Structure 1
Amino acid sequence: MDENIQTFWHQFCKKHKINENTPVEAWAFGATQKDANALASLVDKGIKTATTSAYELYGKDEKLPKVGEWSIILDSNAKPVCVIKDVCAEIISYNLISQEHAYHEGEGDRSYAYWRKVHDEFFTREYKEHGKVFYPQAPMVCKVFEKIK
């Protein structure tokens, strides 16, 4: 974690009376700089409160999210935008992800049709990059979080 992110976390912890040794990860959403900025902005505005990632594409050393974990959301320049805390994390087949979860992802017009189109394209591309084929029953990590003000 670079110095700017550490300073951001230190100030956040001081403001919220959190032990600054509390584990935290810093990361950006999406696969492009444009996505990183747009999605970070949605989180910062309180619109985006959920996300979905492909369970099968997690690396061996990559841990799954857990309730109570903290994250610093970064923009495309690796600058801190806000802090979130995980409130729900579960593995669900892609084709069973609810309209409610799609709505809470906060993207586009927030409809399930929009979410499904964008995520079908995203996961098809992401699986292909890993030499795999995306399929409707693929297990997904569905996470719900809250932005801490």
Structure 2
Amino acid sequence: MNKIQQFWSDFCIVTHKEGIEYKDAFQFGTSADWLADLVVEGKKTATTSGYMFYEFENEAIPQTGEYYIVLNGLEEPVAVIQIQSVEVIPMNEVTEEFALAEGEGDYQFWWNAHEKFFTELLKEYDKEFSPNMLVVCERFKKVYSK
């Protein structure tokens, strides 16, 4: 059993959730350790991703109720989160309240960080950033960490 499977097994035993599955294990953004720490501390309870990337990769967007394992920069599991809500909206309609729930700074920091991140990632697909591009806004709850 690898570290991720063991972490999930520990979560299931401690929370009496045996028999359920997690959707994926992943790192947040380009600062995986910092963002993972924010999740563990309970300061990060939301995340924003580009809707078109789900389309490019032919992947379904996250759904309410799903569980995910958050990894740090060494790809070690640090937390289990459960999706509380998912909304697809234009990026320029994301509220300050939502941006602050990401726990990374003020609204301007959130905007600048996401614009830079999306601009770079979109280049790989020969696409350009647009302020009204659709984004997936997820709220989640940390349900387990060690």
Q: Normalized against structure 2, the TM-score is what?
A: 0.92
Identity of aligned residues (%): 39
CA distance in 1, matches of 2:107, 2:75: 30
Aligned to 1:87: 84
Q: 1: CA distance between counterparts of 2:140 and 2:29? A: 16
Partner of 1:148: 143
One-letter amino acid of the counterpart of residue 101, structure 1:
F
What amino acid sits opposite 1:22 in the alignment? E
Shift of 1:60: 4.2
1:120 aligned counterpart, secondary structure: helix
Per the alignment, residue 61 of structure 1 pairs with: 58
Contact 2:27 2:70 in 1 (8 A): yes
Contact 2:67 / 2:82 at 8 angstroms: preserved in 1? Answer: yes
Q: 1:20 to 1:78 in 2, by over 3 A?
A: farther
Corresponding residue for residue 21 of structure 2: 22
Q: Does the 8 A contact of 1:88 with 1:144 survive in 2?
A: yes
- Does structure 1 retain, via aligned residues, the 8 Å contact 2:22–2:69? no
Q: After the TM superposition, which residues 90-105 of structure 1 pair with which residues of structure 2 at under 5 Å, given as runs?
A: 90-105=87-102
Q: Is there any run of 5+ residues in structure 2 with no aligned partner, and where? A: none
**Residues 1-149 of structure 1 mapped to structure 2, 5 A cutoff:** 3-31=2-30, 35-58=31-54, 59-107=56-104, 110-149=105-144
| C-alpha contact 1:48 1:105 (8 A) present in aligned 2 | yes
1:10 and 1:20 in contact (8 A); partners too: no
Q: Report the residue type matching 2:2 in the other structure.
A: E
TM-score where L is the length of structure 1? 0.91
The aligned length equals 143
Q: Secondary structure at the match of 1:18?
A: coil
Deviation at 1:61, TM superposition (A): 3.3
In structure 2, the CA distance between the partners of 1:20 and 1:79, relative to structure 1 (3 Å rule), is farther
Question: Which amino acid counterpart does residue 115 of structure 2 have in structure 1?
Answer: D
Name stretches of at least 5 consecutive residues in structure 1 with no aligned partner. none
